[in-house]
Structure 1
Amino acid sequence: MSKDGKNSTLGFWLLVWLLGLAGQLCWNMENQWFNTFVYAKIAKDPTIISWMLAISATATTISTFLFGCISDRIGNRKKLVAIGYILWGVFTILFGTTQFMKHGNGDEMAFVGVAFAVIAADAIMSFFGSMGNDIGFNAWINDHMNEKNSGSVGAALAVQPVIGTIAGTVMGGLLVGADDNYMRLFVVIGLLVILLGIVSLFGMKDAESLKPSKKGSFSKQFFSIFNVKEYLQHRELVFVNLMLAVYFISFNVYFSHLGNFMIYYLGFTADMMGLIEGVGLLIAMFSAIPAIRLIRDDRSSLLILVAVILNAVGLFIIGLFVSPSNVNPATIWNPHLLAGVLFVGIGYILFLQTITVWSKRLYPEDARGQFEGIRIIFYVLIPMVVAPLISNPIIKTSGEFVDEYGFTEYLPTNTLFLAGVVILLMTLIPLLLANKEHNHRK
């Protein structure tokens, strides 16, 4: 897309927001409603969620490396976005049909079969979602990013997950409703993503500067990204990615179970949960505006330090001061819970906004697609594989309950948020190292 002309600029920002928000709605649905879907329709057992996180993260990573290399070689992002979004929407709808599979009463083999189908459907959906969003859309954004718009682009990419969380949580709760109609939610979001894939097919243009980048055979170029020695030469980027990994290990320890914590442990309905999260995150979203200038002024280290501290305060509030005995599930007004969500939201927005721009500025120009693949290792694969190893035993230990029928259920409790704080504060170690490398480079 040309950078000149009002129509071109308007078209660029329309696609940034439409494709970005549609993608975030779909990711939010997977990260939040897929987990409550499992508890509502399959079983109240975090083990299924743990496997979903790990397998879908692996599928996402494979997809980013594969299509990152393809995208760089053919010099085209548009095709990946269009095809990826369409298939993403299709498999989102198909995921919902797993609830109609019968797993029987006490039939362990049938239950395992249904659990396998749920995990596999989630992985396939993530594979095509990564193709369209993580590689196609993100690399397309990176192709158009420059010194003038980097702050605005970073703000957009940071705010979109929050808007997606707000809209996805509130709208998701309303679509699921009191009758737990998850299929309605999956169909609506799936059709929206399919529609945006079709729009991108006709309305998106690749950057004029994007050219095919072929470095030998496909296999040679594909495996070149696994050249650890060469990657380690980008020392600042290495530490930035380590920050990303540590932060999102912490994030996935608690956020993947936040919906079930609020619904099944605190007693809120799905729609009330959405409204509480929505109010806190909507206020937090405005923190992205003043951060734009600080990012332009190269104050990324300071912003991330503030983000980590605020995020930790929010987790402490939820972990220490929110419990079934001091919340009212019938109303939004729960000061401790709202304050915790607000501080976590501000920290999350500032962190993601800042580190997104910081990392993208360090990518080699001729391998942006493949370096998005490396980013996914630290952003998705490592956190989603490691976090369940921490959260699953915590839930099994601290949240074991026996229901009225004598069945054992495992519910997420406050302990998850306190564990999240401990891991979160470890983000400060790679932050110090990244800041040192950054100052040295400057």
Structure 2
Amino acid sequence: MREENKQVTKIGARNWFVLVILGLAGQLAWNVENSWFNTFVYDTLTRDPKPIAWMVAISAITATLTTLFMGAYSDRIGKRKPFIIIGYILWGISTILFPTTAYIKNINLAVALVIIADGIMTFFGSTAYDAAYNAWTTDISDESNRGRISGVITILPLLATIIGAGLSGMIIDEFGYYYFFYALGALVSIIGIVGAFILKEPSNKVKDYKNGEVGLLKGIIGAFSPKSIRANKELYLVLITLALYSISVQVFIPYQMIYINNYLAYSKGDAGIISAAALIIAMIFAYPAGILTDKGHGLKLAIAAPIISFIGFMGFSFSRGFFIVIFFSVIIYIGYVIFILTTGAWVKNLIPGGSRGLYEGVRMIFSVAIPMIIGPNIGSQLILSYGNDGVPTPIIVQVAGAIGLLALLPLIYIHFSRRGGSIDEKAKG
């Protein structure tokens, strides 16, 4: 039970400043990688969609493994700051160097190097952000203020997408890809340098893994043992539904800008406005959805979300006019925001105590690695089979929506299992 009169621990203006600037810069870099790296490859190297699918898959695997192992290593030495500072600086430098791959005339070699370059950038980004920054935000907080801090951290990727989608397209249209990547990389590195001067390690020491009860590798293997899965049945069911929904999103999202630019024939600036406008409107639904989730209606919202997204995807696939495209983009993102918010809170409630770091890595396997390997490859095959000279067609949007409905199966099972009492309702979704 919550202690209503518990005093909220203040983290201080310095920590709030570092939390916001590092978080926003990191999410801007991730947003650009997810949206514009793919479009850059398509526009400058090859119209073959397979390299994009490979790049997304390798990036997902790199991010997941990096988060697991570099996070554990930062635990082992008891410090976050070196990983954050050095990671952000090298993250920015690798972003600056990314477009230089297009200077290579041999297309096959250029494609191989662009995938490697993206993997390197992902390694530094995941070290700095996913592993060290996320752990640092936990180190400086406690049970009295983590809700507030998590709320800010949750908003940052949405703000980054709004800024990145709206501003990035305009900059690329005006100055081209190269200056855009140079500017973004410089921004990330500068923020890393600023962080070096103002970020402080928390006064409480990070747990030393050498003195931990279970080694990292043994703990990871144990998390997938039949005993652990049986003991955390509802958690794994929620992770499966998260994976299915995320696969549906990844079928289309890596090719979204390509679809809007080339099939719908909107400029990159207009494409950015479409995404930004949809996210701004969809964000409005986050707060009331959070209140309903706290009141125990999370399962109902989670069931509704894939249906809402399906309606959005279907409508989007038939949309042509600018404002109609925005309208159905809003519907897609409303479903997305509700689903990620409800399942995110649900997973945190179900994670076993004392294993939060480990199960955050497990969550990334289901929410990042698996979806980003399977989803883009489905999208790539749809483009190769039904596309128009490498341009995605509406079938990719329709298939994405249909796959999202598969996420309902575990949720419906949980619903009826709860009614029958076969799942211990220790944490309501």
TM range (shorter): 0.7 to 0.9
For 1:377, give the aligned amino acid. Answer: I
2:185 to 160, 184, 190: 190
What is the identity, as a one-letter code, of the residue corresponding to 1:274? G
8 Å contact 1:225–1:370 — kept in the other structure? yes
Kindly indicate whether the alpha-carbon contact (under 8 Å) linking 1:178 and 1:270 is maintained by their aligned counterparts in 2.
Answer: no
Residue 375 (structure 2) aligns with: 387
Q: 1:27 aligns with which of 8, 22, 30?
A: 30
Deviation at 1:155, TM superposition (A): 3.6
| Corresponding residue for residue 439 of structure 1 | 425
2:84 to 81, 85, 92: 81
User: Given that residues 101 and 110 in structure 2 are in contact (C-alpha distance below 8 angstroms), is that contact kept between their aligned partners in structure 1?
Assistant: yes
1:92-130 alpha-carbon deviations (Å, 9 max, x no partner): 11112112222xxxxxxx211010011000011111111
Q: Which amino acid aligns with 2:207?
A: P
Which residue among 141, 163, 170 is the counterpart of 1:167? 163
1:348 aligned onto 2:346:
no
**What is the SS of the residue equivalent to 1:267?**
coil
| Residues 362-391 of structure 1, C-alpha deviations (whole Å, 9 max, x = no match) | 444544333322222112110111112311
Give TM-score scaled by structure 1 length: 0.85
Give the match for residue 9 of structure 2: 4
Q: Distance in 2 between matches of 1:354 and 1:132?
A: 27
- Partner AA of 1:349 in structure 2: V
- Structure 1 CA distance for aligned equivalents of residues 234 and 12 of structure 2: 32
* Aligned equivalents of 2:207, 2:297: Cα separation in 1: 34
Alpha-carbon shift at residue 243 of structure 1 (Å): 2.3
2:3 aligned partner = none
Query: Mapping of 1:404-415 within 5 angstroms?
Result: 410-415=390-395
2:239 to 241, 248, 266: 241
Provide Cα deviations, 1:15-69, integer angstroms capped at 9, x if missing partner.
3332222111111111110111011110111011011011111211221121122
Kindly indicate whether residue 346 of structure 2 is the aligned counterpart of residue 358 of structure 1. Answer: yes
Moved over 6 A (4+): 216-219
CA contact (8 A) 2:162 2:279 kept: yes
TM-score normalised by the chain length of structure 2: 0.88
User: Which residue of 1 is the match for residue 123 of structure 2?
Assistant: 127
How far apart, in 1, do the equivalents of 2:283 and 2:133 lie?
22
Counterpart of 2:392 in 1: which secondary structure?
coil
CA-to-aligned-CA distance 1:227-276 (integer Å, 9 cap, x gap) = 22264233332222222211111111011100000001111111111112
User: Structure 1 residue 356: deviation in Å?
Assistant: 2.7
Q: How many Å separate the matches in 2 of 1:433 and 1:9? A: 45
Of 338-347 and 72-81, the range deviating more from structure 2:
72-81
- 8 Å CA contact 1:150, 1:357 repeated in 2: no
Cα–Cα, structure 1 residues 255 and 430, in superposed 2: closer, same or farther, change >3 Å? same
Instruction: Please tell me the residue identity of whatever aligns with 1:203.
Output: I
Q: Distance in 2 between matches of 1:218 and 1:32?
A: 41
Quick one: distance in 1 between partners of 2:427 and 2:91? 40
Distance, in Å, in 2 between the alignment partners of 1:433 and 1:57 is: 29
Task: Using the aligned pairs only, state the percent identity.
Answer: 35
Matches within 5 A, 1:14-413: 14-102=17-105, 110-143=106-139, 149=145, 151-178=147-174, 181-207=176-202, 211-214=206-209, 220-227=215-222, 228-229=224-225, 231-232=228-229, 233-319=231-317, 321-322=318-319, 326-327=320-321, 334-401=322-389, 410-413=390-393
Mean Cα deviation higher: 139-148 or 32-41: 139-148
d(CA) in 2 for partners of 1:69 and 1:37?
A: 34
**CA-based RMSD:** 2.6
Matched AA of 1:132: A
Q: Which runs of 5+ in 1 are unaligned?
A: 103-109, 328-333, 402-409
Q: Structure 2: where are the runs of 5+ without partners?
A: 1-6
The amino acid across from 2:275 in the alignment is: E
Change (3 A) 1:85 1:172: same
